[in-house]
Structure 1
Amino acid sequence: MQELIIAPLVPGNGGGINNVLQKVVVAYDKENIESENGKNSQAGAENSTPYPGLSRLTPSLILCGAAAVVPAYMDKLGVSCVINVAPELPDTPLSSVMNPLYLRVNAQDRSEVDLAKHFDEVADLIEEVRLNGGVSLIHCVAGVSRSASLCLAYLIKHAGMSLREAYTHVQSIRPQVRPNSGFFQQLRRYEQQLRGSCSVEMVYFASLDKEIPDILEPQYRAMEDFYQRYRSSLRKR
């Protein structure tokens, strides 16, 4: 793999691409999501909802961030189980009409956190709800890392998907998903445990000086390109 190293925006700031990417990632995601939404506008109704921020991954599983959790929406979507993966947030506002099951998962969004200990519990609950004709809604703060990782674990265990297939499926519906590298490592081990092989490799990414999942490499390279354009636009001001 060819190494691509980008100098810091401001000489001597000590941050380099690692810090600058964090500053431009929101803008990159906005641009990328708008582009992907255009590509996916013809997706089937089973993979969409009429409510902003709610991503239907399967007919019985919805992924979102905390801001999109609205009891009236949950009623209309028939949500019968809510999983909150953000211990830093208060309890999720629940519908008094549907009176859904409610599970809190205590997991911070840090790569060293053991999220894998919750994989089976959450995956089996989502599947039980599906078998009973219900719909599960899972969220963290942004619906990008923690809750997305648990959705991937569910798809690996109960939908017969590899990790690569599961991520590709989820990302096609919710382009901003990006589990942290520690969660991806745990998902790789989970796939190995369940399927006897691993479909995602970790590769060294020089600009960040760390390993990332190979399936995320195109996104990181695109962010580097976005950063270059961002830096160029600042120089023209």
Structure 2
Amino acid sequence: MGELALCTSTELYNILNQSTKFSRLAEPNYLCLLDARSKREYNESHVITGRRVKQDESMQFLLPESIELASMKYCVVYDSRTNSLEGEGPALECAKVISQVCHKPVLVLRGGYEEFSAYYHFFRSQKVFWMPQEIDDFQPYPIEIIHGLLYMGDQSQANDHHIHKDLKIKSEVNVSLEPIQLSMPILHISVPDSCDSDLLQFFSTICDFIDCHMAPNSAVLVSSTLGISRSSAVIIAYLIHSRRWTLQEAWSHVRKCKTNMRPNRGFVQQLSEWEKTVLGHQITDISEPRF
């Protein structure tokens, strides 16, 4: 039997936008997103790929059919506005039923549909049935690192005007060999994704650029070709700079946001040097397997 845990809107947003070559939503055992609101509310609008949970005659929630809940990586339940695991409410009642067959914690969306849809209106949907090809064609958005302010993505996302509008991205840091032609402030750091590439020399310039351009309603996107190595190294460097986090703390946060992030070994060594520069001494042991 699984436990219950709260899930923030940002966490659900990032779960929806994980990808490798394709969106992870196409994986059958990746995400089960359940809407515990009324049928009328669900039909009016729900979170994309969410399915309504049915109830029996006594209004008890039923387990969804044709879903292997025990093998799901994520089970997320939401109602209109639940904010706590205490008390009562449709999301909690449904999550307790789901947890009886789940091996992992069942996540309850904090703030419910109202908060999530206010932040991410572009993920509202009225679509009930999704064909496999439609899920395969789903285009993920950049991963959110700092809510509403800092995002990490790949080359295609960096050039997508709809994404810029939806996320209010007003400037970009492009860490790749390919320049981006956009009518916004862009800092282009042209380095290959190689262990011999020197990103360390640019960390201070990048952090200053992000600090100058990041503001409410003015987000910054950090991108690289695949959004995995160079961009994650830059994001980690910025978190060490801005939050005064250790390399380990910044690494853990970015890993939580994007599960397949992976700076190459040369960048890891440079991040260790950056940690020493910013914090005064090296704290993180980069010989540990996680790095």
- TM category, shorter: 0.5 to 0.7
Aligned mate of 1:171, from 255, 263, 277:
255
1:139 to 206, 209, 223: 223
One-letter identity of the residue aligned with 1:58: I
Quote the residue 1:232 is aligned against: none
Q: In 2 relative to 1, CA 47–155 (structure 1 residues): closer, same or farther, beyond 3 Å?
A: farther
The letter for the 2-side match of 1:92 is: I
Specify whether residues 39 and 164 from structure 1 end up closer, same or farther in structure 2 by C-alpha distance, changes over 3 A only.
farther
TM-score of the superposed pair, with normalisation by structure 1 = 0.63
Deviation at 1:39, TM superposition (A): 7.1
Deviation by residue 1:207-229 (Cα, 9 ceiling, x = unmatched): xxxxxx5433xxxxxxxxxxxxx
Q: Give, in angstroms, the shift of residue 113 of structure 1.
A: 0.8
Alignment CA distance shift 1:202-1:165 (3 Å):
closer
Q: CA deviation at 1:38?
A: 2.2
Q: Cα gap change, 1:171/1:159 in structure 2, threshold over 3 Å: closer, same or farther? A: same
Q: Does 1:64 align with 2:153?
A: yes
| Aligned-partner Cα distance in 2 for 1:124–1:47 | 27
Instruction: Tell me, in whole angstroms, the C-alpha distance in 1 between the residues paired with 2:258 and 2:187.
Output: 23
Distance change >3 Å, CA 111–CA 39, structure 1 → 2: farther
> d(CA) in 2 for partners of 1:108 and 1:199?
28
Highest relative contact order (Cα 8 Å, sep 6+), 1 or 2?
1
Counterpart in 2 of 1:181? 265
- Superposed CA RMSD: 3.2
Q: Is the 8 A contact 1:109 1:145 kept in 2?
A: yes
Shift, 1:198, TM fit: 2.5
Runs of at least 5 residues in structure 1 that lack an aligned partner in the other structure: 1-25, 204-212, 217-237
In the alignment, residue 161 of structure 2 is paired with which amino acid? P
Going from structure 1 to structure 2, the CA distance change for 1:39 and 1:145 (only over 3 Å counts) comes to farther
Higher helix share: 1
Give the paired residue count: 174
CA offsets 1:165-223 (integer angstroms, 9 cap, x no match) = 111111101111010011000000110111123332233xxxxxxxxx5433xxxxxxx
Assess, with a 3 A threshold, how the Cα gap between structure 1 residues 53 and 73 changes in structure 2: closer, same or farther.
Answer: closer
Q: What fraction of aligned residue pairs are identical, expressed as a percent?
A: 22
TM-score, length-scaled by structure 2:
0.52
C-alpha spacing 1:177/1:105, structure 2 compared with 1 (3 Å): same
Q: Distance in 2 between matches of 1:85 and 1:79?
A: 16
Runs of 4+ with deviation above 3 angstroms = 33-37, 39-51
- Which structure has the larger Rg over C-alpha atoms? 2
Alignment correspondent of 1:54:
142
Q: Which residue of 1 aligns with 2:74?
A: 38
Q: Cα distance 1:150–1:200, how it changes in 2: closer, same or farther (>3 A)?
A: same
The answer to whether the 8 Å contact 2:144/2:150 transfers is yes
Residues 39 and 184 of structure 1, relative CA distance in 2, 3 Å threshold: farther
Q: Does 1:201 align with 2:237?
A: no
Q: Deviations over 1:110-144 (max 9, x none)?
A: 01111101101111111111247521011101111
Question: Which position in structure 2 is the counterpart of 1:22?
Answer: none
Contact 2:141–2:163 (CA<8 Å) still a contact in 1? no
Partner of 1:224: none
CA 1:58–1:37 in structure 2 vs 1: closer, same or farther (change >3 Å)? Answer: farther
Residue of structure 2 aligned with 1:76, choices 148, 153, 166: 166
Relative to structure 1, the CA distance from residue 34 to residue 197 in structure 2 (aligned partners, 3 Å threshold; closer, same or farther) is farther
Q: Distance in 1 between matches of 2:152 and 2:213?
A: 15
Contact 1:124-1:154 at 8 Å conserved across structures? no
1:103 counterpart = 2:193: no
List alignment gaps of at least 5 residues for structure 2: 1-19, 32-71, 77-106, 111-115, 124-138
- CA distance, structure 2, for counterparts of residue 65 and residue 57 of structure 1: 14
Quote how far apart the aligned CAs of 1:53 are: 3.8
Q: Tell me, what secondary structure is at the counterpart of 1:215? A: coil
Q: Which residue in 2 is equivalent to 1:123?
A: 207
